[in-house]
Amino acid sequence: MSGAGHYAYRVRWSSEDGAYLGTVAEFPSLSWLADDRAGAFEGIQRLTADVVEDMRASGEPP
């Protein structure tokens, strides 16, 4: 998971979106919507891993 497992994730129901919302504390601009909690959690972890990988590739510390 490219170090993405070391971040603080949260999944909650979003009544505004009618779906579960996954967020990560260290990257407040990232979020992931899914129909179930597991999907939101897996989605935000994958997205975070991709962002961290891109940051490292460009020489930016995550």
Over the stretch 6-43, which tens digit does the pLDDT of each residue have? 999 999 999 999 999 999 999 999 999 999 999 999 99
Triad 8, 6, 17: Cα angle to 5°: 35
Q: Establish if 27 belongs to a structural domain.
A: yes
What's the predicted TM-score (pTM) here? 0.90
Total domains in the fold of the chain? 1
Q: Establish if 29 belongs to a structural domain.
A: yes
Q: Establish if 37 belongs to a structural domain.
A: yes
Its domain, for residue 23, covers 4-56
* Cα–chain center distance at 2: 13
- Phi and psi for 53 in degrees, rounded to 5? -60, -45
Residue 5 has pLDDT above 90, yes or no: no
